[in-house]
Amino acid sequence: MILPEKNRIPEKLETVHLIAVCGTAMGALACMLKDLGYQVTGSDDHIYPPMSRFLEEKGVGIMTGFDGSHLCHRPDLVVVGNAVSRDNAEVAAVEAMSLCYCSMPQAVNRFSAAGKRQLLVAGTHGKTTTSALLAWILFSAGRDPSFIIGGILPNFMSNYRTGGGDCVVIEADEYDTAFFDKGPKFMHYNPEAAVLTSLEFDHADIYRDLDHVRDAFGRFVSRISPESLLVSVDDDPNVSGLVGLAACKQLSYGVQADSPWRLGEVFVEPPVTRFRIIKNGKDYGIFRTRIMGVHNLKNTLAAVAVADYLGVAADEIAHALDNFAGVQRRQEIRGEKRGILVIDDFAHHPTAVKETIKAVRCHFTKNRIIAVFEPRTHSSMRKVFQQDYVTVFDPADQICIRKPSLLKKVPEGERFSSLQLVADLNQRGKLATHFDDTDSIIAHLVKSANSGDVILIMSNGGFDNIHERLLGAL
């Protein structure tokens, strides 16, 4: 076991090593530390684009796998990712060498958030897009923000930034912090403004049930300072049941008539969507965006509410939204070959899959939508969502389900059945096909896809680089 007194960040340091460096937040932290002048190395056993490429371009040395020899240079600080277990070989080396170590949120607080106004975005869904929108609005308005976000923003070609302004935007994750700190990451921060986008059961590997998730979020909102602001979605009963625990100032947003920030008329005009925002019952303006779906319009409302609270003018917000380029792996168009469009999305929770397909359908009303799904998270590979997935693919015309590649990580009695899902989809009249591997999916799509089709690929992992391989094969 690591000695507790070594869970600290030394005042003076030159070298930092990150264990599990290819996670989006860990990768951002590694690059941020590199920019600050530290010598940075990292290791991981799941190395795939875009984060691996991003790290290499920033000059962060990535070592494959976990091995105690990776720490033979005795770094001044080791940042331990939350995907790292106590029996990791590099954790053992940290203990043996008596090295200083910390978690990712501890490092963010020290190197990025210290002395800044912390703007947090929390929730089961929409965290990345909402954080990205807020960061871009502040940047576009000349506020020079810092940010650390779980997805790469094409506007910056980065998922982090060290700005000279007084604000830092942080995507505040409910996942556990590290093996030595099982509390949620968001408990490490002290927000001046916090957004709560949604609350559902997820992360079945660390949360027992929905009540367990509610408890974590309840502790989060109840500790927000009375001088701070909580901005919460208005149509999620789980969120509504928690906001009473907060002693801070509050604003709600969404579609309810009595919400201070409300979505008005929506005009889908591909490739853009125009929409009206109502603030305190009065017309705030009509705005344009290139991101798809009502769920993303609500994410936009949340970011607008925080930006307005910080004094950003409506015309500055409109200019920013009109020029927001989205987030990589969130409805990202990866390419088009033979008239076939390939879109990549991070969706994995049933609600995210449902909303993503609905959004794409609204923008491609006359096209055939082929949904390709890889269950890969600890929750999606468990049978807890087995029945929920049966209806979420309804807007798609054809469905391809891959057998989970990491299913052995789930206890046998708790495993999700991709074969059963396909059978249930077919039973409901949907054209669904099961595949044991990615190669088979690519071969099937090359043969069956036609000009005008939209192939929507959903996974929270690299999915064997299916996007580039499919475009090459087409």
Pick the CATH number of 115-322 from 3.40.50.2300, 3.40.430.10, 3.40.1190.10, 3.30.420.40: 3.40.1190.10
CATH 3.90.190.20 segments of the chain: 332-473
DSSP letter for 286, please. E
Q: How many CB atoms lie within 10 A of CB 120?
A: 26
Helix segments in 198-283, DSSP class H:
210-222, 237-240
Pick the CATH number of 332-473 from 3.40.140.10, 3.90.190.20, 3.40.50.2000, 1.10.10.10: 3.90.190.20
Element (H, E) at 164: none
CATH 3.40.50.720 segments of the chain: 4-106
How far CA 93 is from CA of 74, 107, 131, 389, in Å, comes to: 10, 20, 36, 42
Direct distance between the N- and C-terminal alpha carbons of the chain, in angstroms, rounded to an integer: 51
Q: What is the mean pLDDT of each run of 10 residues along the chain (474 residues)?
A: 75 95 90 94 82 84 94 97 93 95 95 95 95 98 96 91 96 92 93 97 89 96 97 96 95 96 96 97 97 95 98 98 92 94 93 94 95 89 91 97 87 90 96 96 96 95 90 94
For 4-106, which CATH class? Answer: alpha beta
Element (H, E) at 396: none
Query: According to the model, what pLDDT value does residue 3 have?
Result: 58
